[in-house]
Structure 1
Amino acid sequence: MSGSPLVLVTGATGYVGGRLVPELLRAGYRVRALARHPERLGGQPWRDEVEVVRGDALDEDAVRAALDGVDVAYYLIHSLASGPRFEALDREAARLFAREARDARVGRIVYLGGLHPDEATLSPHMRSRREVGEIFLASGVPTTVLRAAVILGSGSASFEMLRYLTERLPAMITPRWVRNRIQPIAVRDVLRYLVGVAALPPHVSRAFDIGGPDVLTYTDMMQRYAAVAGLGRRVILPLNVLSPGLSAHWVGLVTPVPHRIAKPLVESLVHEVVATDDDIRAWVPDPPEGRLGFDRAVELALQRVKEATVLTRWSSASLPGTPSDPLPSDPEWAGGSLYVDERATPVRASPEHLWSVIQGIGGENGWYSWPLAWSVRGWLDRFSGGPGLTRGRRDPARVTVGDALDWWRVEEVQELRLLRLRAEMKVPGMAWLELRVEQDPVGRTLFRQRAVFHPRGLPGEAYWLAVLPFHAFVFGGMQQNVALAAERLERERAAEPQRAVSQQAA
């Protein structure tokens, strides 16, 4: 590896940068990352495989150190701040980076900018992104500027805006920009281009438009997202009255995407954003299966929920499986609505006795909380076509993956540690119940319980709000009663030898 080209990735804590690093490592490059807060990379599974330089893009000494010996430098920094100074700061940082890259004899700068019409009056953010690209192209360092529109992938701000608007609003009045044509691109194709242009010959120094195979209106994208996500067709009524500023406030009200991010996203959609050339494909050819279309990109972005990987930890993984998967550096509001009820209770019993109670839950043993509520919910589920509580369980004491436990299905079993159940009841979304045996810092047995719900559309959001008041009784009661049952089992098992001795004496 010591002879492999060295690449620098700025913005490694961001959406694209966090996904680019493992792709570069897979391609055989050595990677160095420049980060203002290196501690934010601690949860990345590739952290120990890269060199990290602490510093800001406006810190001349840090930029110079980061570029030393670099063959290819990726500039993935763009301010989403507002105010009169952000364009000047973007300009200053780009000029500093270009100057230091030239002095360090860097072989190529790669910049990911935004797709825009050449002759249009651009928003301040799009104008700044265009200017940064022009600074690099005029730097004397061979430069590749890739210009993309909406990037499709879990965690992308533009994709999350699309996701929340579509999922939460079955009917909506929209601004006129929803009729503009857009050429979205899957994040894995963006990354394929970013990795591919690192090997361009020095005489190639230019901007390339990049996009996926589909050209759609924003309305088309919402309708097709709804179809892929299993939602009903959306009622969309475009009006000519909402300005980009008002649209951004509307997005901020309906979705968790912050206004400061929603505003530049909306402003970028005011114009049609369609690639005017596909020259990039001569240098970075399409894979045999072609570029990912819109529907498939959405499927991949939603795959983590369908596979219940909402409950896994990135720290236990190797390199990320697919670029559309979430990363720990993604913003908290990314990934769609995911509601969690998490509780933990110390138990005065051994882990073995607690596990014995957990793996015996359901069926004739019941669910250790408010039996009337479980019965009523079971009858409602049966009435709506679900299994209700009629299936019971195969074995009264043990469970294996695939077993039915009333309206749950056993999805994962880790002996003495974890029982994970996926709901098969009729609900407008997907639900899991996770029961864990742990130990706290002082060595006590800990019963940790987590209920997770991923709503499907507005009915799912309403369902969660409707059942939320009952969680204290249902899940809180389960916590207490499972703990009490484990403690009772501990006492009974401890008393068995004494009873045997008494019987022998008699």
Structure 2
Amino acid sequence: MTTSADTPPFATGSEPGTALVTGATGYIGGLLVPRLLDEGWTVRVLSRSEARVREHDWGARVDVVEGDVGEVQDVRRALDGVDVAYYLVHSMDGGGDLARRDRRLAEGFAGAAAVAGVDRIVYLGGLHPEGADLSVHLASRVEVGEVFLESPVPAAVLQAAVVLGDGSVSFDMLRYLTERLPVMIAPKWLRNRIQPIAVDDALHYLVGAARLPAEVNRSFDIGGPEVLTYEQMIQRFAAVTGLRRRVVLGVPVLTPWLASHWVGLVTPVPEDVAKPLVGSLVHEVVRREHDLDELVGLPDGGLVGFDDAVRRAMRGTRPDHALRDVLTVTAATVASAGLGTLATQPDSRWYRSLDLPSWQPPKLAFPLVWTPLYLDIAATSIATLTRLEDEGRIEEAAQYRRALWTNLVLNTGWSVVFWRVRRPALAAGEAVVLAASSADLARRAGAAGGRARWALLPYAAWTAFAAVLSTAIARRNR
């Protein structure tokens, strides 16, 4: 077949019919549906929640079949009368036997598509090198593609690497690593070559694949016009977004398992999602052929370069303040701890003259308890502020920040009032206020959700105990 990339052979073929999109509430699916509608397709989606579908701008323009892709009857209802079926379902949580589960779902979908007389299945998989020892996740995506290619229904299996777009998990990982780490330790495989693709170009290929000739049953590599290493993508992202050049320090050994923990800690990408993404970076993922360009034509204006794709993706995004939060919260917590330590005088003659309750902990207990508590305050507050800001809960983040500053001032103030001003009664009153502030701070961290939701409870409990102790000392020393 020798046709111009600008004039695909089927451009004057049959009119668009009915397309089923699974995974329509996901990132790619949510962008694909309006593209198909604009091309004249009647779109049906299979979703477990019709209400969630209707929340989208295009929600009122599609037919919704409420059901689960794992239930054969639901899939059959969804595929009835469908011409093209998009399968955009991937297991990213790592739960259970991922490969077996994905294979079972794909086999059920392919079988139902054959019974329903579907003309084509379109699947978006992962770009990968031939013959490589792939990660479990990437190998599973390859296997799902093979299931569709071996089914009676013609399939187009599109294979992409990093998709550049706001909302793409692989792009989010690149963005937050770059924004939050001016200096980073990177494994040597971050110098492997990758061919990223702008999300608009990926959607162009997905829409075009729906109208491939019936005899086409194969996989296609898709990618943008540039091949870069992950480290080069980090530096290019920094340059485009006005950040300073990042310092990337290579280390000989950093397993994907360890790297995924690191990504989960530094970025809002969950660890169980980061693991398959990191596992795919171990390999060089570059297009080996450009056949789909010939069959569906290139996008108007050609493929989007990396820099332009980043600019488009970052247009309208909220600024990330995680690095600012790390610096300010750490500085404030260290200052509070340092000033409180300087004010403390446990060996003073005045303190030794006080009548202390018999249940007061020994002097050694206080630094042993306060050191991890200050670390807890800093780590939990950074995680909480980052989570709130990532989720767009800006007012909650501002309220938490004010509550934190108030709490740290009260924390330091108690040491000054008790040890320097030597007013036990006044210090007892402030200790009660500090305990209430600490309980409120713990409540706010809990309301933010995430792993740190209960992390400040020990701090709240200890300040409550300190308030009781401080009150008892005040009563004994009127």
Letter of the 1:469 counterpart: W
* Cα distance, 1:468 vs structure 2: 7.2
* Cα distance, 1:288 vs structure 2: 3.9
* Cα distance, 1:284 vs structure 2: 1.6
1:150 counterpart residue number:
162
Q: Is the 8 A contact 1:160 1:336 kept in 2?
A: no
1:165 counterpart residue number:
177
Q: Which one of the candidate residues 23, 26, 35 is aligned to 2:38?
A: 26
1:294 aligns with 2:230: no
3-state SS of the aligned residue for 2:316? Answer: helix
1:315-344 residue CA offsets vs partner (Å, 9 max, x unmatched):
xxxxxxxxxxxxxxxxxxxx95599xxxxx
3-state SS of the aligned residue for 1:121? Answer: coil
Q: Is the 8 A contact 1:57 1:97 kept in 2?
A: yes
1:107 aligns with 2:43: no
1:7 aligns with 2:19: yes
* Cα distance, 1:37 vs structure 2: 2.1
Rounded to whole Å, the distance in 2 between the matches of 1:6 and 1:64 is: 15
3-state SS of the aligned residue for 1:173? Answer: strand
Rounded to whole Å, the distance in 1 between the matches of 2:166 and 2:267 is: 15
1:172-198 residue CA offsets vs partner (Å, 9 max, x unmatched):
111112101000000000000000111
Where does 1:88-107 land on structure 2 (aligned, <5 Å)? 88-107=100-119
1:260-312 residue CA offsets vs partner (Å, 9 max, x unmatched):
0000000010000001111110012113411001000000011113xxxx6xx
Rounded to whole Å, the distance in 2 between the matches of 1:453 and 1:278 is: 47
Q: Is the 8 A contact 1:9 1:33 kept in 2?
A: yes
* Cα distance, 1:68 vs structure 2: 0.3
Where does 1:254-333 land on structure 2 (aligned, <5 Å)? 254-305=266-317
Rounded to whole Å, the distance in 1 between the matches of 2:316 and 2:300 is: 25
TM-score, L = length of structure 2: 0.65
CA RMSD of aligned residues (A): 2.7
Where does 1:485-496 land on structure 2 (aligned, <5 Å)? none
Q: Which one of the candidate residues 87, 91, 108 is aligned to 2:99?
A: 87
Where does 1:35-54 land on structure 2 (aligned, <5 Å)? 35-54=47-66
Cα 1:469–1:42 change in 2 (3 A) is farther
Rounded to whole Å, the distance in 2 between the matches of 1:288 and 1:149 is: 22
2:438 counterpart residue number:
none
1:221 counterpart residue number:
233
1:57 counterpart residue number:
69
Q: Which one of the candidate residues 122, 144, 155 is aligned to 2:134?
A: 122
Rounded to whole Å, the distance in 1 between the matches of 2:139 and 2:167 is: 24
1:469 aligns with 2:372: no
Rounded to whole Å, the distance in 2 between the matches of 1:22 and 1:193 is: 15
2:190 counterpart residue number:
178
1:222-247 residue CA offsets vs partner (Å, 9 max, x unmatched):
00000111100000011111100000
Letter of the 2:405 counterpart: P
Rounded to whole Å, the distance in 2 between the matches of 1:19 and 1:241 is: 38
Q: Which one of the candidate residues 240, 261, 265 is aligned to 1:253?
A: 265
Rounded to whole Å, the distance in 1 between the matches of 2:228 and 2:94 is: 29
Cα 1:204–1:53 change in 2 (3 A) is same
Rounded to whole Å, the distance in 2 between the matches of 1:450 and 1:118 is: 46
3-state SS of the aligned residue for 1:236? Answer: strand
Cα 1:127–1:169 change in 2 (3 A) is same
Q: Is the 8 A contact 1:163 1:336 kept in 2?
A: no
2:147 counterpart residue number:
135
1:71 aligns with 2:83: yes
* Cα distance, 1:4 vs structure 2: 4.7
* Cα distance, 1:453 vs structure 2: 9.8
3-state SS of the aligned residue for 1:144? Answer: strand
Rounded to whole Å, the distance in 2 between the matches of 1:338 and 1:244 is: 24
3-state SS of the aligned residue for 1:128? Answer: helix
Q: Is the 8 A contact 1:60 1:96 kept in 2?
A: yes
Cα 1:210–1:104 change in 2 (3 A) is same
Cα 1:216–1:467 change in 2 (3 A) is farther
1:244 aligns with 2:256: yes
Rounded to whole Å, the distance in 1 between the matches of 2:66 and 2:199 is: 27
2:346 counterpart residue number:
none
1:208 counterpart residue number:
220
Q: Is the 8 A contact 2:161 2:194 kept in 1?
A: yes
Q: Is the 8 A contact 1:133 1:145 kept in 2?
A: yes
Rounded to whole Å, the distance in 2 between the matches of 1:209 and 1:188 is: 16
Letter of the 1:39 counterpart: A
Rounded to whole Å, the distance in 1 between the matches of 2:87 and 2:303 is: 24
1:90-130 residue CA offsets vs partner (Å, 9 max, x unmatched):
11110010011011110100000000011101111111101
1:464-500 residue CA offsets vs partner (Å, 9 max, x unmatched):
97997389xxxxxxxxxxxxxxxxxxxxxxxxxxxxx
More strand by share: 1
Give the number of the structure whose alpha-carbon radius of gyration is greater. Answer: 2
TM-score, L = length of structure 1: 0.61
Letter of the 1:213 counterpart: P
Q: Is the 8 A contact 1:338 1:452 kept in 2?
A: no
1:127-152 residue CA offsets vs partner (Å, 9 max, x unmatched):
11011000100101110000000000
Rounded to whole Å, the distance in 2 between the matches of 1:468 and 1:41 is: 38
How many residue pairs end up in the alignment?
326
Cα 1:118–1:287 change in 2 (3 A) is same
Question: Structure 1: any 5+ residue segments left out of the alignment?
Answer: 311-334, 340-448, 455-463, 472-506
Q: Which one of the candidate residues 198, 206, 209 is aligned to 1:194?
A: 206
3-state SS of the aligned residue for 1:304? Answer: coil
Q: Percent identity?
A: 56
3-state SS of the aligned residue for 1:101? Answer: helix
Letter of the 1:77 counterpart: V
